[in-house]
Chains A and B, each alone.
Chain A
Amino acid sequence: MSRLIYWVSVTFCASFLILPLVVVWPLAFNPSSFLTYPMEGFTFDWFAKVLSDPGWTRPMLNSVRVALGVTVLAVVIGGLAALGVMMTRRGTQIVLSALFVSPLVVPSVVVAVALAYAFGRTGVGGGYLSLVLAHSIVAAPLVFLSVMTSLRGLDPNLDLAGASLGASRIYRFFTVTLPLTAPGFAAGAVFAFITSFDEVVLALFLADPGSSTLPIALFAGLRDRLEPPIVVVAVLLSVLSVLFLMLLNYLQKRHAAPRS
């Protein structure tokens, strides 16, 4: 009896999580422009259409550009923050960690209003730079947490060993700390890239027509008219997410190995 309750509820709940995605994806390959079953065949036409339509490809390129900029900036900010915080005392650590994590809990609409106003007044304006800055502030906490985790897992004696062997602080950082926490930095970079690539709200407030991103195009498309290209873009974004998830898993496995 209790096993039955268990299996029914687990199956139902897990299906609710994944079925909506799995059921919708095939429609991207359906020749019909109605997004429903039964499928009338199998075609890549919609993919070809999306990939040749500048209305989709330009935002795609913009998204990649923004996300790459964000990855670099967020890894620098978040990484420096984590390295610095680890060297401070406990009390300072708590305060600074709260600061560096805070963008995760502030609703993105609020951040968007604040930044749109601030950028407008200081002359940063809308566009590529403002998007990179805004996304970096939201992505840096993820890098920070990721690097913090790998720094916490690092044996502090390794750094001391480096010192006792005559290595300066900087030499130690590049030969001991960085190689051993590299998976943390890499995972942070993955987080940062995907966060920026998927982000809509800040982009809606900050992008100008020239720097419109893929999520903005998708959002606009959804409000406008539901067509197969929208599902195609959704499929492309999902594939990217799954690829990044796999990359992250690989990084975490590599991270665990040297400490076995």
Chain B
Amino acid sequence: MSHAKSQPHGSRFAAFLLLLIPTAIFLLIFVVPLGSIISLSLENTALGSRFVTFNAAAENNPDQRAQAVLQDLGAMDQKQLGEVARMLNQEKSGFRSLILDTGKKAKTIPPSMGGLVAFDKRWAEPDYWEIISKNAGAISWRHYQKVSGLKLDAAGNLTIAKGDLIFMRVMGRTLVISVEVTLLTLLISYPVAFAVARGSRRTAATILTIVMVSFWTSVLVRTTAWVVLLQTNGLINNLLVWLGIVREPIQLIFNRFGALVAMTHVLLPFAILPMINVMRTIPKAQSDASRSLGAGPIETFLRVYFPQTLRGVAVGGGTVFILALGFYITPALTGGPNDQMLAYFIADFVNKTLNWGMAAALSVLLLLIVILLICLGKLIQRMLAKRERAI
């Protein structure tokens, strides 16, 4: 009998009262802000709100459009004009001077197509008009184009912009590092979890304490330890030199090695704990039975024990992978410039260039990948559960 059913009737109103505050807070300071970064990533007020008259003008009436452009440009102050010129220049070079020049004289130029072309003959080229009308809308895919490196050209074809694949490369790197960290973590977690689940009481208690202490120590503190250990004149280098393994200190930090070691260490407990949970449910008598049926210890492990622990490996690995994708602090402190992940660039856009649009677009990308992976994980879990029930 479910708990809910055994509740005295009338409990639905009480539940509503209790849930009112937490739900409101979660919506207001979590769900809505997350949603707002989607709109932030598409937002185009900097351009869209400057071309109000133009957006309202009929597209097949050149004179009306010319008049509208002049009216909009004339309404901008110096700062706004500069911003609009800069943003349009990103789409086509030469736009800056065209906007700035036209803007300065907007009041004096005759409000017709003829007048505009007479002022600057670049206005005769349809390209410029195309770009204005594509970028003056209320929303813009600009940030996503930059993130993906893909561009819709004037003819409507998808093209890869040259040299603009940087964020796809960052994305790829983020995935590669996450996979590497996940594999390393699983490799190290398995024996630890096994020892906790199967070892003698004392071994299990000792190792579990170690895992818990590590888990509870803050990520930053654990990263600090690795920075101290791996630095050029740090403990490990001194030890290697003292042992005569290397003559000169070697670079152990601010490269991929440092990032992987520190990230693996930070994420280990997240793999170990679910593995322990699964391993503890496997009765020891199974292995004894296998041994009594004639299988050796290694064969018993591979055939009887290991397959049953895969569920824990999957949960642990999935958790580590998802967490690794969003990592920022640890790689920032232990990796080199070529080991920075997506999160680093998100932070960079906000902190250095105040480019919220790009930060939002990259955040949406990261969030989508995480959501996708969680759905995938749930799906796999459900499929496994179904198979288990079928057996």
Contact = CB atoms under 8 A, between A and B. Distances in A.
Is there a direct interface between A and B, measured as CB atoms under 8 Å apart in the complex? yes
Contacts of B66: none
A18 B265 contact: no
A237 B199 CA distance: 31
A90 to B, nearest CB: 7
A45 B284 CA distance: 53
B61 interface: no
Interface size class, chain B:
35 or more
Contacts of A219: 220, 329, 333
Nearest to B365: A110
A83 B25 CA distance: 16
A117 B22 CA distance: 22
Contacts of B223: 222
A20 B226 contact: yes
Interface stretch (B98-106, B112-120, B137-145, B342-350): B342-350
Interface size class, chain A:
35 or more
Given A21-B214, A156-B3, A215-B220, A109 B21 contact: no
B238 A37 contact: yes
A99 interface: yes
Contacts of A194: 216, 218
A100 interface: yes
A204 B194 CA distance: 38
Interface in B14-59: 14-19, 21-23, 25-26, 29-34, 36-37, 40
Given A90-B4, A110-B366, A137-B29, A96 B229 contact: no
Contact of A10 (B194, B234, B350): B194
B214 to A, nearest CB: 5
B347 A204 contact: yes
Contact of A245 (B16, B207, B216): B216
Contacts of B36: 114, 117-118
B348 to A, nearest CB: 10
B161 to A, nearest CB: 25
A9 B186 CA distance: 13
B159 to A, nearest CB: 29
B325 interface: yes
Q: Secondary structure of the B side of the interface?
A: helix
A197 B220 CA distance: 11
Nearest to A115: B33
A43 interface: no
Contacts of B33: 111, 114-115, 117-118
A17 B265 contact: yes
B40 A16 contact: no
Interface stretch (B5-13, B77-85, B87-95, B121-129): B5-13
Contacts of B356: 113, 117
Given A10-B207, A24-B229, A78-B22, A87 B15 contact: yes
B374 interface: yes
Interface stretch (A50-58, A179-187, A223-231): A223-231
Contacts of B8: 160, 163, 169
A36 interface: yes
B224 interface: yes
A45 to B, nearest CB: 18
A61 interface: no
A259 interface: no
Nearest to B212: A245
Q: Secondary structure of the A side of the interface?
A: helix
A244 interface: yes
Contact of A234 (B12, B210, B225, B235): B225
A9 B191 contact: yes
B225 A24 contact: yes
User: Most A CB atoms within 10 A — which of B25, B199, B221?
Assistant: B221
Contacts of B227: 222, 226
A107 B347 CA distance: 12
Contacts of A9: 191
A67 interface: no
Interface in A113-127: 113-118
B229 to A, nearest CB: 6
B22 A77 contact: yes
B148 to A, nearest CB: 18
A84 interface: yes
Contacts of A165: none
Contact of B34 (A35, A110, A245): A110
B86 interface: no
Nearest to A25: B225
Contact of A137 (B30, B203, B221): B30
B363 A114 contact: yes
Interface string A117-157: 11000000000000001101100100000000000100011
Given A90-B4, A118-B29, A245-B212, A109 B326 contact: yes
Contacts of A89: 4
A231 B30 CA distance: 35
Contacts of B366: 107, 109-110
9 tightest A-B contacts by CB? A107-B326, A84-B18, A198-B218, A84-B19, A87-B15, A118-B33, A81-B22, A114-B33, A9-B191
21 contacts: A13-B188, A17-B188, A20-B225, A76-B21, A77-B22, A81-B22, A93-B4, A99-B26, A99-B31, A110-B34, A113-B359, A118-B33, A137-B25, A198-B219, A200-B220, A201-B328, A218-B224, A219-B220, A222-B227, A238-B221, A241-B217
Interface of B: 2-4, 6-8, 11-12, 14-19, 21-23, 25-26, 29-34, 36-37, 40, 188-189, 191-192, 194-195, 199, 203, 207, 210-214, 216-229, 231, 233-235, 238, 265, 268, 297-298, 301, 322, 325-326, 328-329, 333, 343, 346-347, 350-351, 356, 359-360, 363, 366-367, 370, 374
Given A13-B189, A81-B22, A103-B30, 7 more contacts: A21-B225, A24-B225, A113-B363, A205-B350, A237-B217, A237-B221, A238-B221
